[in-house]
Amino acid sequence: MTLILTFLGKGGTGRSTVAIAAAQKLSAVGKRVLLISQEAGPALSMLLGSEAGEAIGAKAAKVTLGSSSFQVVQLQTTVLLDENWEKLKSFEAQYLRDPFFKAVYGQELSVIPGMDDFLALNAIREYTESNQYDVIVHDGSGDQSSLRMWGAIGGIDWYFRRFKKVFQDSQFYRSISPFIGPITGAILSGGSSGDIWSRPETRSVESMVAKGKALVSDPMQLRAYVVTTADEVAIAQGKYLWSAAQQIGLSVTGAIVNSISPGQAETTGAFAPLPLTTLPYSVGGDRWQRLAQALPALTEPVSVPAAMSVDAANSTVKLFLPGFDKTQVKLTQYGPEVTVQAGDQRHNLSLPPALNGRSVTGAKFQDGYLIISFG
Amino acid sequence: MTLILTFLGKGGTGRSTVAIAAAQKLSAVGKRVLLISQEAGPALSMLLGSEAGEAIGAKAAKVTLGSSSFQVVQLQTTVLLDENWEKLKSFEAQYLRDPFFKAVYGQELSVIPGMDDFLALNAIREYTESNQYDVIVHDGSGDQSSLRMWGAIGGIDWYFRRFKKVFQDSQFYRSISPFIGPITGAILSGGSSGDIWSRPETRSVESMVAKGKALVSDPMQLRAYVVTTADEVAIAQGKYLWSAAQQIGLSVTGAIVNSISPGQAETTGAFAPLPLTTLPYSVGGDRWQRLAQALPALTEPVSVPAAMSVDAANSTVKLFLPGFDKTQVKLTQYGPEVTVQAGDQRHNLSLPPALNGRSVTGAKFQDGYLIISFG
């Protein structure tokens, strides 16, 4: 199984530096490592140094730092867009009588907001499923927008489920239902589609979504580290991102304090109970090795509080939201699901069958935990 | 007319600090200023200081720094989503016989990638059109994702135009066309819709898009400054973003070197011919005033090279792409439009009628300009 490591933190705290050092550390002990960068521009290449940096591109390439080697890829959205457009066209050609996407070339397509993250997420999925890597070190934007990406699987899944139900219940659906048969018959190759919700393609997407949701909440498949400096704004922003990550079910398993100038002040216990690692101020040729040595074990099982835990016997769900207080968290049950809103995010809880569909009867905040009771 | 200022640069170069100083500078000379922050978390509030910082929220609020006041809003995607969902529902209620979005509450909706930028762009449009502000100071992510946001209007416009044509030309359209009348008749209130492409709502969206596209390429309506430190990676990343902005038609009108530590090295001419301003290292109570004084005039007409200029007499188009060379720029004409690809972005050129639809006959790189000739 591949473990994905990702890093959260304010810009300028050295997340890319920590990511490179992590890749170096893990490849030095024999792990097959892929470093995936989502940042466009020359920064990663310059950080890796002239020799290693030259190989960097949209295809995974080997770089050697010190005595160990790993693969690096700098995702390019235009390249991913072209590849996925070709896949979509061949999918279309297979199912539609008269494909119409085929008239459009991938190379024409503009990149609009959201595409970067959806295409990156899909690329990470493909690299994970290739079984070529023990560890994927992900160097993304590290802020709220990274959390949107990791939350996207749950979010999209919610939209499909919710709107499928609304659609099927609507008079709109009843109005157009006489036409659905003839239309699908006219456009799908092989004629009428039967129930589109039970077709094999629908089922395969459903199983992909279920796997993706399980991945995000399993710290042996995906874990985040908060990177900060001793600067108080960086620490506060790191704490915010820690909570915001937990809120969407992504476990943060440690905090890393990067020394970006010599003689930096000590950082206090802002991230308790997370294990905290302080990296030495490090420049020069052997900096990667020194940073790698100072990093904690990154792939071992961890004993930090889970982002979410369910106690079916007592009909309660506990969410660990360390940086929020009760005024910042809103719990609603407008639709069929329980929604937790905090940190400008909404998370529709994936509940076990025993609690699914039941009403919330109470909620309290205690020692950083939001404890929700079901009736 | 409202002028929007935005800032590009590597994380940690102090873009938010520069944005606050810019808001202070302009409000001190009597401009009505709104500072719009897109960054979630406590950073902005802490930078503004305890007194001013407390007012910060999802609604524009007045803050006072030194002797001048301006408005500040920290955009919250969940709040914007709820507001826009309500608007969509009332729009739907007006046009559809049997609205079905009404069954879904805004407060249930998850935030998925792309929504942050689309909703922010719409909020900025509304603030601009309110005529309440002379200047909007925009503190966004400052990286490629900010450029995606500013490029979104042109991008979305392209998708609509391109796929409308593909759709209308397709056999798919002919297959379903017998059903379009009965379906629209069944779902639209007031019965059959006539030609949906010539309805007043379609026209109003078209005029909004035309206004938005004009705004992005007019430096008296929107301009970007590159913010950097003396660090070589920050400079290289700033140069990359400068070029990438120009490539989508957004003019960069100056470079600002922020001194984040005392005794910082001088920055050389990496950004020529842009005017370059170096800010003093500044801490303590009167820092905003000192930074504001050091900033250049931010709202005056500028004489930097335009991102794109058209010479209709000679049938050429010049794009100023200072940081790219010819190996990094790809020019294609797959579809009906000319696409410039560079810096992981694609820009479909908006050509004047005289050149529209004509074939590219040549292109050359000269002194940082890409010069395209049409036959």
- The closest CB to that of B10, out of A10, A43, A112, belongs to A43
For residue B124, which residues of chain A lie inside 8 Å, CB to CB?
none
Shortest alpha-carbon distance between residue A155 and chain B (Å): 5
Residue A241, C-beta contacts closer than 8 angstroms, at least 6 positions apart: A8, A9, A142, A143, A144, A147, A226, B41
For residue A43, which residues of chain B lie inside 8 Å, CB to CB?
10, 233, 236-237
Degrees, nearest 5: CA angle B58-B6-B311 = 140
Task: State residue A138's pLDDT score.
Answer: 98
Residue A108 pLDDT exceeds 90: no
Least confident of A113-127, A179-193, A201-215, B341-355: A179-193
Task: State residue B6's pLDDT score.
Answer: 98
Partner-chain contact A104 B78, CB within 8 Å = no
Q: What is the CA radius of gyration of chain A?
A: 23
Partner-chain contact B240 A148, CB within 8 Å = no
Do the strands B369-374 and B360-366 form a parallel or antiparallel pair, or are they unpaired? antiparallel
Length of chain B, please? 375
Which residues on neighbouring strands pair with residue A372, listed in sequence order?
A317, A363
Partner-chain contact A159 B337, CB within 8 Å = no
Confidence tier at B93 by pLDDT (50, 70, 90): confident
Residue B66 pLDDT exceeds 80: yes
Locate B302 and state its tokens. Answer: 């500028």
Residue B197 pLDDT exceeds 70: no
CA distance A299 to A196: 41
Residue B220, C-beta contacts closer than 8 angstroms, at least 6 positions apart: B1, B3, B301
Task: State residue B318's pLDDT score.
Answer: 92
Shortest CA distance to A142 belongs to which of A249, A6, A8?
A8
For residue A168, which residues of chain B lie inside 8 Å, CB to CB?
none
Residue A256 pLDDT exceeds 90: yes
Q: For B16, name the nearest residue in chain A, comparing CA atoms only.
A: A11
- The closest CB to that of B335, out of A96, A104, A156, belongs to A104
Other C-beta atoms lying within 10 Å of the C-beta of residue A94: 11
Write down the H helix ranges in chain B.
Answer: 15-28, 43-48, 50-53, 77-95, 115-129, 144-169, 171-187, 200-216, 232-247, 287-294
**pLDDT (average), residues A28-56:** 90
Instruction: Give SS3 for B143.
Output: coil
Question: Using one digit for the tens of pLDDT, what is the confidence trace for B266-324?
Answer: 666 889 899 999 999 988 778 899 999 999 999 999 888 888 889 989 999 999 998 88
Report yes or no: B176 and A187 within 8 Å, Cβ to Cβ. yes
**pLDDT (average), residues A339-351:** 88
Q: For B155, name the nearest residue in chain A, comparing CA atoms only.
A: A110
CA B185, chain centre distance (Å): 38
Shortest CA distance to A206 belongs to which of A170, A244, A156?
A156
- The closest CB to that of B40, out of A172, A175, A344, belongs to A344
For residue B140, which residues of chain A lie inside 8 Å, CB to CB?
none
Q: How far is CA A182 from CA A301, B124, B169, B178, B346, in A?
A: 55, 44, 21, 10, 39
Q: For B112, name the nearest residue in chain A, comparing CA atoms only.
A: A152
Whole-number percent of chain B with pLDDT over 70: 95
For residue A231, which residues of chain B lie inside 8 Å, CB to CB?
none
Angle at which helices B115-129 and A144-169 cross, to 10°: 90
Best of B75, B101, B112 to mutate (most A CBs within 10 Å, chain A): B112
Q: For B145, name the nearest residue in chain A, comparing CA atoms only.
A: A113
Surface-to-core class of residue A201, CB atoms within 10 Å of its CB (0-12 exposed, 13-18 middle, 19+ buried): exposed
Length of chain A, please? 375
Report yes or no: B183 and B192 within 8 Å, Cβ to Cβ. no
**pLDDT (average), residues B213-240:** 94
Report yes or no: B181 and B192 within 8 Å, Cβ to Cβ. yes
Residue type, A315: S
- The closest CB to that of A233, out of B43, B183, B344, belongs to B43
Partner-chain contact A110 B158, CB within 8 Å = yes
Partner-chain contact B117 A114, CB within 8 Å = yes
Average pLDDT, chain A: 88
- The segment with the largest mean pLDDT, out of A261-265, B175-179, B342-346, is B342-346
Partner-chain contact A43 B344, CB within 8 Å = no
**pLDDT (average), residues A294-301:** 94
- The closest CB to that of A152, out of B40, B113, B187, belongs to B113
Residue type, B329: V
* Dihedral, A182, A186, A187, A188 alpha carbons, nearest 10: 80
For residue B236, which residues of chain A lie inside 8 Å, CB to CB?
41-43, 46
Please state the ipTM of this predicted complex.
0.91
Q: For A167, name the nearest residue in chain B, comparing CA atoms only.
A: B100
For residue A151, which residues of chain B lie inside 8 Å, CB to CB?
110-112
Task: State residue B193's pLDDT score.
Answer: 52
Residue B174 pLDDT exceeds 90: no
Confidence tier at A36 by pLDDT (50, 70, 90): very high
Partner-chain contact B117 A113, CB within 8 Å = yes
Which residues on neighbouring strands pair with residue B8, listed in sequence order?
B226
- The closest CB to that of B111, out of A41, A155, A236, belongs to A155
Task: State residue A197's pLDDT score.
Answer: 65
